[in-house]
Amino acid sequence: MNADMTLLRRVMLLMCALCALGAAPVHAQSAESQAQAARQQSQPLNNAPVWREVRSGDSHYTTVKGVETGVLIQSGGQTWRALRNGPVMLYGGIVFCAMLVLLALFYKLRGPIRLSGVKTGRLIERFNTLERTAHWSMAISFCVLALSGLVMLFGKHVLLPVFGYSLFATVAVICKNVHNFVGPLFILSVLVFIVLFIKDNVWQSIDALWIRKAGGLLSGEHVPSHRFNFGEKTWFWLGVVGLSLLVGASGLVLNFPNFEQGRFIMQSANIVHLVGALIVMTLSLAHIYIGSIGMEGALDGMKSGYVDETWAKEHHELWYDEAVNAQPAERQAGALPAAARI
Amino acid sequence: MARMKFICDAERCIECNGCVTACKNEHEVPWGVNRRRVVTINDGVPGERSMSVACMHCSDAPCMAVCPVDCFYRTDEGVVLHDKDLCIGCGYCFYACPFGAPQFPQAGAFGLRGKMDKCTFCAGGPEKDSSEDEFRKYGRNRLAEGKLPLCAEVCSTKALLGGDADVLADIYRQRVLTRGKGADIWGWSTAYGKPDAPASQPAGGGQS
């Protein structure tokens, strides 16, 4: 009997200890609660320590379940609002529009970069089907995301006054859902793209020449390069690897509220998402320009996969030399590679 | 025109959660959403204080400022309401609000949250007053019936008050005066202790 009592007492003691451990975070005599207890003695009804707690953004006890329901005041929202509705929107909008104007001016003044020589009619394969599929999946999803994102950010000030509330809300809800579902596809295509293109985007010594001559962009001079020149490599590392992944990762944080992230994480992720997206969208305008109307023959490579020999020689001389040396038999015979006859 | 406000008297709130329950029942609030909640600070220790919190119907409402479809509006009485037909469930109002008032019936993957729901100050929404549609989306429109918010009306200790800000301010001021601690709670005594205390205290042994 006595032994049983001792055992029971031990078990109870152990349980009490465990309870105390488990309950420690809730009932701990924290510095704040001690301050309030002391204040109750010295100045009854003075709740200054409590109000400091209210303002602190810490979580307190509540029976209501949900994300951060124990927090009375979360101040981060004010910072987020001030940043989003302030500098991010203002400067982001200005920079984006400035790039459009700049490219229009460049097109007007400089015109498209034309080939110096005559097209030979002989074609070289520049991008295989897989590479083109990866590029266009990324490009199309990027454009869809960019447009729907712009509607979400600037639509209230640009489209809403034109469309009216009902129509704009319909457009916005479509944009939001398209944005949220296409986003993960974009990330997937970016990852595939990186795997396919990383090898040829590693920096090479010849890149120094391109930097020194600023790509020949203004002089019109053709700077030799391997498969990708330094400009393309910068776009790969900055636009695709850096910014697209950053925007993608922050987008995932926002896209899955089911993991019950707190507000601070969402606010921070949203700012990273907005800033990153505005930069990469602005830069993409330049890429889209030079890849389409800005340069003669540039679109062919990504469209059909083949470029004219003249284009290859002028824009990527070293890559051209390698490509020619790689298939000497066919070249000496003067025949086109079978796949090149399109 | 009255400027509608809530005030919660931390000296009176006894954490009964009556306001939470009454609100949920009156408006048949969607599952998973609580338009009002009671938070207790220093739970279980001397000086414990509870307060009931919901949408504070801000004059410069952050939700309104960040909403990408501009679905919020403010009534003549200063109540911040929103149009669920326009709401796209983006969650921005939830990011912006310091009080955690805007809530969503779901927290689904791919940002599928459903329409935002929050305290309406028992003032319904943009639909016709007291219509079936209004009740289904926003709950009861008590203001249209000439009644004040139910949470405040049911409060057993009258800790939570809702109504015209001028009236509430008068009531609260009266309470502070009646408690007899109005003058020495703040200001001089907060900084230096009770007026009669310093003389009786030994040098260097003042209470923290």
What pLDDT does A9 receive?
Answer: 60
What pLDDT does A338 receive?
Answer: 44
Let me know if residue A332 belongs to a domain.
no
Say yes or no to pLDDT of B197 above 70.
Answer: no
The whole-angstrom separation of Cα B96 and Cα B66 is 7
The string of pLDDT tens digits covering residues A193-240 is: 999 999 999 999 989 999 998 888 777 788 889 999 999 999 999 999
- Phi then psi for B183, rounded to 5 degrees? -75, -40
Let me know if residue A268 belongs to a domain.
yes
Going by C-beta distance under 8 Å and a sequence separation of 6 or more, which residues neighbour residue A10? none
Q: Quote the tokens at residue A9.
A: 């007492």
What pLDDT does A327 receive?
Answer: 66
The whole-angstrom separation of Cα A22 and Cα A83 is 40
Let me know if residue B42 belongs to a domain.
yes
Cβ burial B24-55 (10 Å sphere, 16+ → b, else e): bebbebbeebbbbbbbbbbbebebbbbbbbbb
Let me know if residue B172 belongs to a domain.
yes
Let me know if residue A155 belongs to a domain.
yes
Contact check, Cβ <8 Å, A50/B185: no
CB-based contact, B190 to chain A, within 8 Å: yes
- Assign residue A166 the CATH number of its domain: 1.20.950.20
Contact check, Cβ <8 Å, B32/A66: yes
CB-based contact, A166 to chain B, within 8 Å: yes
Return the bridge partners of B49, or none: B41
> CA Rg, chain B, in Å?
20
CA atoms within 13 A on the CB side of A15: 6
Contact check, Cβ <8 Å, A255/B109: yes
Say yes or no to pLDDT of B202 above 60.
Answer: no
Q: How many domains does chain B have?
A: 1
The string of pLDDT tens digits covering residues B172-191 is: 989 888 876 655 555 555 56
Q: At what angle do helices A165-197 and A129-158 cross, to 10 degrees?
A: 150
| Residues of the domain holding B29 | 4-179
Let me know if residue B200 belongs to a domain.
no
Please state, in angstroms and as integers, the Cα–Cα distance from residue B150 to each residue in A90, A127, B161, following that order: 42, 68, 10
What pLDDT does B185 receive?
Answer: 55
Low pLDDT (below 70) residues in chain A: 1-29, 327-342
Let me know if residue B12 belongs to a domain.
yes
Let me know if residue A13 belongs to a domain.
no
CB-based contact, A257 to chain B, within 8 Å: yes
Contact check, Cβ <8 Å, A176/B17: no
Let me know if residue A298 belongs to a domain.
yes
- Tell me which DSSP letter residue B35 carries: S
CA nearest to B5, candidates B142, B165, B123, B159: B165
State the smallest CA–CA distance between residue A39 and chain B in angstroms.
8
ipTM of the predicted structure? 0.86
What pLDDT does A256 receive?
Answer: 96
Let me know if residue B206 belongs to a domain.
no
Contact check, Cβ <8 Å, B70/A38: no
Calculate the average pLDDT of chain B.
Answer: 89
Please state, in angstroms and as integers, the Cα–Cα distance from residue B202 to each residue in A276, B188, B198, B199, B205, following that order: 62, 20, 8, 8, 5
What pLDDT does A31 receive?
Answer: 82
State the smallest CA–CA distance between residue A223 and chain B in angstroms.
45
What pLDDT does A329 receive?
Answer: 47
Q: Which of B9 and A18 is assigned the larger pLDDT?
A: B9
The string of pLDDT tens digits covering residues B145-173 is: 999 999 999 999 999 999 999 999 999 98
Let me know if residue A105 belongs to a domain.
no
Distance of CA B149 to the CA centre of its chain: 11
Q: How many domains does chain A have?
A: 1
Contact check, Cβ <8 Å, A36/B46: yes
pTM of the model: 0.86
Rounded to a whole number of angstroms, the distance between the first and last alpha carbons of chain A is: 98
Residue B195's pLDDT band, with cuts at 50, 70 and 90, is low
Residue B206's pLDDT band, with cuts at 50, 70 and 90, is very low
Let me know if residue A40 belongs to a domain.
no
Interface test with A, best of B69, B86, B119, B175 (most A CBs within 10 A): B69
Let me know if residue A75 belongs to a domain.
no
Handedness of CA A176, A180, A186, A191 (dihedral sign): positive
Q: Which of B85 and A217 is assigned the larger pLDDT?
A: B85
For residues A303 and A91, the answer to whether their CB atoms sit within 8 Å is: no
Interface of A with B in 136-165 (CB under 8 A): 152-153, 155-156, 160, 165
The whole-angstrom separation of Cα A240 and Cα A141 is 13
Say yes or no to pLDDT of B204 above 60.
Answer: no
- Tell me which DSSP letter residue A306 carries: E
Contact check, Cβ <8 Å, A66/B38: no
State the smallest CA–CA distance between residue A86 and chain B in angstroms.
11
What pLDDT does A216 receive?
Answer: 80
For residue A260, the chain B residue with the least C-alpha distance is: B107
The string of pLDDT tens digits covering residues B71-81 is: 999 999 999 99
Contact check, Cβ <8 Å, B37/A61: no
What pLDDT does A342 receive?
Answer: 41
| Residues of the domain holding A238 | 127-322
Map tokens 């600037």 to a residue. Answer: A154
CA nearest to A77, candidates A268, A254, A282: A268
Q: How large a percentage of chain B has pLDDT more than 70? A: 86
Contact check, Cβ <8 Å, A43/B47: no
CA nearest to B106, candidates B94, B85, B89: B89
- Assign residue B74 the CATH number of its domain: 3.30.70.20
